[in-house]
Amino acid sequence: MNFNDNLTGYLPEQRAFASRVQALLKEREVANPKAHIVTFGCQQNVSDSERIKGMLILCGYTLTEEITEADFILFNTCAVRGHAEDRVYGNVGATKKLKQANPNLMVAVCGCMAQQQSVADKFYKSYPYVDIVFGTQQYHRLPEFIYRRMTSKRVYELELDNKEIVENIPISRDGKLKGWLPIMYGCNNFCTYCIVPYVRGRERSRDPQEIIKEATNMIKSGFKEIMLLGQNVNSYGKGESHGVNFAKLLRMINDIEGDFRIRFMTSHPKDCTEELLDAIRDCEKVERHIHLPFQSGSSKILKQMNRRYDREGYLKLIKAARDRMPDVEFTSDIIVGFPGETYEDFCETLTLVKEVKFTSLFTFIYSPREGTPAAVMPDPASREEKGKWFNELLIAQDEISEQLNRSLIGKEMRVLCEEDLGDGVYSGKSEFYSSVTFNGTPEVMGNFVTVRVEKYENNTLYGTIIN
Ligand code: SAH
Ligand code: SF4
Ligand code: F3S
């Protein structure tokens, strides 16, 4: 666990609340108070949870993996699809029993799902054992919320004020090798199916110097991979006075000394410029992989999704990237069964997938989100039909993945050794995106090694370390 104790910039009032919480926990004789965090959703939430853990440590808690021994349980939730939400209700409901066993236990719900007024109201009214409900732009106030709950009523704070980003929140990072670095928050795009802009608020970019400071600290403490995060990293810096856009930011981070690698997600095709592709090509530490969600291969559906590019524009972008970097790998998100989508429209998604040849895909069946424009569009295709299309897509992608993987046999790649699989077997990801498994000795763990790919079996690439 890494604990960022550089708290000089963190809000003094929150630091004071954290000290008061510590004192109260002692006063109430909560011996060795423990906190358990459950995170749903995307990397943005995972990254927020690392800061939430940092604040809890500042309040005097230690972290535990065991929910049953916790004195503080927090659910950081996701609202992107119905399925994500359903899981949360069950998890939160199960804390009722735990509270009966431990009267000191506090339960908090935050994140994108809690940000929706109707959901937050439901937690507040129907789940009386939930002590604290707070939204996505209030999480830096967690010490205050805990203090308030310990001394008074339940807490409910949902304000989405889009104010400046609070810096220097303490962080307890989950890993030591690969770390998240949020560069911007929120989204202005309002794709018609998507809840994110409503629950994350408007786009706000962090100051480039803050990002460089965090990246430098991470590299100094041994991180080998930095994942830059944002709902649309390509629009980094828009509307800010510092004049640094995402292409410039990549070059600045690339200039930081050290042996590390830079990844980033998510890129929106509409903001993926030639300047950015040049930067990716020129920066030797930036991976040769672009996660570039296209969502649908049909220009008609893309228009209804408000994605602001068409099939042709997307394919041009892929070509522009491959002209610069022939080996660049692509991954994408796809929605199957957007309202009004026909089998013919879906086939355009299928042909695009076959044409581009993505390394892998994140595929979703459309899930209506209340309050978004798509939720009220006529949606005649049945769930069953959509399921069939979805499976057709998976089968097509499996074939492509297999082909792509076989084409890598004989190639050498620089791999960050991330996982010890036991018995001298290790695995990691290449400078592109593919994962490879190889034999090694313990000192390879956490380091970059050059691996020659030898074979592809059981959906796995196997290689040999050559230095
Ligand atoms: N900002 C990112 C995506 C964030 S959400 C981007 O624009 O690419 C992650 C993915 O969830 C989306 O790319 C989309 O494919 C999927 N998604 C979002 N809303 C959805 C919905 N209502 N139903 C199904 N999938 C959805
Ligand atoms: Fe959602 Fe579109 Fe924003 Fe991505 S770009 S978070 S899909 S609204
Ligand atoms: Fe889910 Fe919120 Fe991320 S809705 S996908 S956790 S931004």
SS (H, E, C) 219-282: HHCCCCEEEEECCCHHHCCCCCCCCCCHHHHHHHHHCCCCCCEEEEECCCHHHCCHHHHHHHHH
* DSSP label of 412: E
Span from the CA of 81 to the centroid of ligand 3 (angstroms): 9
Nearest CA to ligand 2 atom 2: 191
What's phi and psi for 425, nearest 5 deg?
A: -110, 135
The pLDDT assigned to 162 comes to 80
Mutation test residue for ligand 2: of 204, 268, 272, the one with most atoms within 8 Å of CB: 268
Taking alpha carbons only, the member of 182, 171, 177, 137 closest to residue 157 is: 137
Tell me the pLDDT tens digit for each residue of 181-194: 999 999 999 999 99
CATH superfamily of 412-465: Nucleic acid-binding proteins (2.40.50.140)
Looking at residues 276-294, what average pLDDT do you find?
97
| CA 333 vs CA 69, 111, 353, 363, 409: distances in Å | 38, 22, 11, 6, 26
Looking at residues 339-362, what average pLDDT do you find?
97
> Is the pLDDT reported for residue 1 higher than 50?
no
CB 234 less than 6 A from any atom of ligand 2: no
Span from the CA of 450 to the centroid of ligand 1 (angstroms): 35
Which atom of ligand 1 is nearest the CA belonging to 372?
22
Q: Which residues have a Cβ under 8 Å from the Cβ of 392 and sit 6 or more positions away? A: 346, 350
Taking alpha carbons only, the member of 355, 362, 275 closest to residue 315 is: 355
Q: What is the mean pLDDT of the chain?
A: 95
CB 266 less than 6 A from any atom of ligand 1: yes
Which atom of ligand 1 is nearest the CA belonging to 194?
19
β-bridge mates for residue 76, sequence order: 39, 110
The pLDDT assigned to 164 comes to 84
Confidence of residue 161 (pLDDT cuts 50, 70, 90): confident
Q: Of all residues in the chain, what percent carry a pLDDT higher than 70? A: 99
> Is the pLDDT reported for residue 40 higher than 80?
yes
The pLDDT assigned to 4 comes to 61
CB 366 less than 6 A from any atom of ligand 1: yes
pTM of the entire predicted model:
0.96
> Is the pLDDT reported for residue 3 higher than 80?
no
Span from the CA of 20 to the centroid of ligand 1 (angstroms): 40
The pLDDT assigned to 30 comes to 87
Span from the CA of 363 to the centroid of ligand 1 (angstroms): 9
Q: What CA–CA distance (Å, rounded) separates 24 from 322?
A: 59
Q: For the chain, what's the residue count? A: 467
Q: What CA–CA distance (Å, rounded) separates 439 from 448?
A: 14
Which atom of ligand 3 is nearest the CA belonging to 84?
1
> Is the pLDDT reported for residue 262 higher than 60?
yes
> Is the pLDDT reported for residue 313 higher than 60?
yes
> Is the pLDDT reported for residue 7 higher than 70?
no
Nearest CA to ligand 2 atom 5: 189
Q: Angle, to 10 degrees, between the axis of helix 274-282 and the axis of helix 311-324?
A: 30
Taking alpha carbons only, the member of 416, 448, 421 closest to residue 434 is: 416
The residues of the chain that CATH labels 3.40.50.280 are 2-157
Looking at residues 342-365, what average pLDDT do you find?
98
Mutation test residue for ligand 3: of 48, 50, 80, the one with most atoms within 8 Å of CB: 80
Q: Which residues have a Cβ under 8 Å from the Cβ of 239 and sit 6 or more positions away? A: 203, 205
CATH superfamily of 183-203+231-239+264-407: tm_1862 like domain (3.80.30.20)
Q: What is the CATH number of domain 2-157?
A: 3.40.50.280
Tell me the pLDDT tens digit for each residue of 203-254: 999 999 999 999 999 999 999 999 999 999 999 999 899 999 999 999 999 9
The pLDDT assigned to 6 comes to 61
What's phi and psi for 257, nearest 5 deg?
A: -70, 145
Span from the CA of 27 to the centroid of ligand 3 (angstroms): 38
End-to-end alpha carbon distance in the chain: 30
The pLDDT assigned to 65 comes to 97
What's phi and psi for 256, nearest 5 deg?
A: -65, 135
Mutation test residue for ligand 1: of 85, 185, 194, 341, the one with most atoms within 8 Å of CB: 194
* DSSP label of 339: T
> Is the pLDDT reported for residue 116 higher than 70?
yes
CB 141 less than 6 A from any atom of ligand 1: no
The pLDDT assigned to 350 comes to 98
Confidence of residue 83 (pLDDT cuts 50, 70, 90): confident
Looking at residues 288-301, what average pLDDT do you find?
98
Q: What CA–CA distance (Å, rounded) separates 349 from 343?
A: 10
Nearest CA to ligand 1 atom 11: 80
Q: Angle, to 10 degrees, between the axis of helix 311-324 and the axis of helix 343-356?
A: 10
Span from the CA of 45 to the centroid of ligand 3 (angstroms): 7
The pLDDT assigned to 160 comes to 93
> Is the pLDDT reported for residue 5 higher than 60?
no
Q: What CA–CA distance (Å, rounded) separates 444 from 449?
A: 7
Looking at residues 55-72, what average pLDDT do you find?
97
β-bridge mates for residue 109, sequence order: 75, 133
**pLDDT: which is higher, 144 or 30:** 144
Looking at residues 137-149, what average pLDDT do you find?
97
